[in-house]
Amino acid sequence: MWDAFLSRMRTSLLLVAALALPAFAQGSIFPDPNTKKASKQLEWANVSEESKAFLKSKMKHHGKEMKDLSLAVATVRLAEVQRLAQDVANQPRLDATSGPAMKLPPMFFELQDDLRKNAQALSDAAKAKETDVLHARFSAVMENCMTCHVAFKK
Give the pLDDT confidence of 94-109 residue by residue, as tens digits: 888 877 777 777 888 8
What total number of domains does the chain contain? Answer: 1
CATH number at residue 55: 1.20.120
Whether 142 has a pLDDT exceeding 80, the answer reads yes
**Structural domain of 117:** 2-152
Contacts of 73 (CB under 8 A, 6+ apart): 19, 81, 122, 134, 135, 138
**Residue-wise pLDDT tens digits, 57-80:** 777 778 888 899 999 999 999 999
Check residue 61 and give its pLDDT.
Answer: 75
- The one-character DSSP state at 23 is H
Contacts of 139 (CB under 8 A, 6+ apart): 19, 20, 22, 23
Check residue 40 and give its pLDDT.
Answer: 55
DSSP secondary structure string, 76-121?
T-HHHHHHHHHHHHHSPPPPTTSGGGGGS-HHHHHHHHHHHHHHHH
Mean pLDDT for the stretch of residues 121-138: 96
Q: Are 29 and 138 in contact (CB under 8 A)?
A: no
